[in-house]
Amino acid sequence: MKAVYFEEHGGPEVLETGDFDDPIIGPGEILIDVKAASLNHLDIFVRRGLPGIRLPLPHITGSDAAGVVGGVGDGAAGIAVGDRVLVNPTLSCGRCEFCIRGDASLCRSFKIVGEQTQGTCCEKIVVPHDNVIPIPNSLSFEDAAAVPLVFLTAWRMLITRAHLRPSEDVLILGAAAGVGTACIQIAKVTGARVLAAASSDEKLELCRSLGADVLINYAKEDLVKKVRNETGKRGVDVCVDYIGKDTWTKSLQSVAKGGRLVTCGATTGYDPKTDLRHIFFRQLEVIGSTMGSKNELLAPLSLILDGKMRPVVGKVFHFEQTEEAHRLMESRKLSGKIVIRVADND
């Protein structure tokens, strides 16, 4: 099969497109002929190399995929060859204390497709049958590939971890990126008021089209001041910050007394300065979240299929242009998700 892979860690230039051995289906597994994959910041971190994780090389990039079932392993029930599916990228044991209580991303043997295992930017992938979710004809492969990682991450972060409630004010930083566009829509469906912050007016226009109530261009405006003005000097109930170092201090200052600051990443750096007085005097909750469980993907998927939310595809690249797609992702200039068309749609 053809695959996009790297043989050494580094910049986008280490990505190669070439022949790779077909994966072999084991018991309980499903082989998928990939039609579309999508990029996440995780792909960049994996390509550059993650501290503490030694990958067998060459490594195929990508965590998100949609396609058609091409083979079914022994004992994999409920899925048939030819079914249209998307992939839940969270790999978990299903048996440990965390899996049993529904927290698959806390699993003792937690892995992500494309991080510790071979990824989705290729023509064929094999995943456990529990990770395969059927999709109807109404959802295109390109849209489907843009759903899993960002929507399950956003759902777990806002609903499961931060317990967002109707009528609350939520500030979303990096609101035009993949997770951000999912957060805006989930917050609106919940009945919250959304303050969307992004670095350009063009990105904010997208946020408005997704239902954001207040738009903040933090390249031009003082974020904390604007949040205080828009909330009667109170601050927001919930702030979503996965930007990290560049915005963390301002995020702490933007949260109301007793509010929650939730993070699922640190795109600009993981070691920001924290003034602890903000946390104890104002009794803030700092909440971590990562990936999510299958139910945290099925919930937003159901709302997408009902037409209440939509995956936001910013740009589609051909398989051979994955290096260029990684460069665009790294530039953080694009809004929405970058999708890789692996095979022509049927």
Residues that bind Zn ion (CB under 5 A): 92-93, 96, 99, 107
By beta-carbon proximity to Zn ion, the closer residue of 43 and 103 is 103
Task: Determine the Cα–Cα distance for residues 204 and 198; give it in Å rounded to an integer.
Answer: 6
Amino acid in position 51 = P
By beta-carbon proximity to Zn ion, the closer residue of 117 and 254 is 117
By beta-carbon proximity to Zn ion, the closer residue of 111 and 315 is 111
Here the tokens at position 233 are: 């000097």
**Residue 124 near residue 70 (C-beta atoms within 8 A):** yes
Which stretches does DSSP call E strand in 153-268?
Answer: 169-173, 193-198, 214-217, 236-240, 255-263
DSSP code of residue 270: S
CB of 102 to Zn ion, least distance (A): 11
Dihedrals phi, psi of 342, to nearest 5 degrees? -85, -40
Cα-based distances in Å from 49 to 36, 57, 61, 130, 158: 24, 11, 12, 28, 29
CB of 91 to Zn ion, least distance (A): 10
CB of 104 to Zn ion, least distance (A): 7
Write the burial class of residue 152 (CB in 10 Å: 0-12 exposed, 13-18 middle, 19+ buried).
Answer: buried
CB of 289 to Zn ion, least distance (A): 17
By beta-carbon proximity to Zn ion, the closer residue of 92 and 118 is 92
By beta-carbon proximity to Zn ion, the closer residue of 45 and 98 is 98
CB of 93 to Zn ion, least distance (A): 4
CB of 128 to Zn ion, least distance (A): 12
Residue 220's contacts (CB-CB under 8 Å, 6 or more residues apart) are: none
By beta-carbon proximity to Zn ion, the closer residue of 253 and 290 is 290
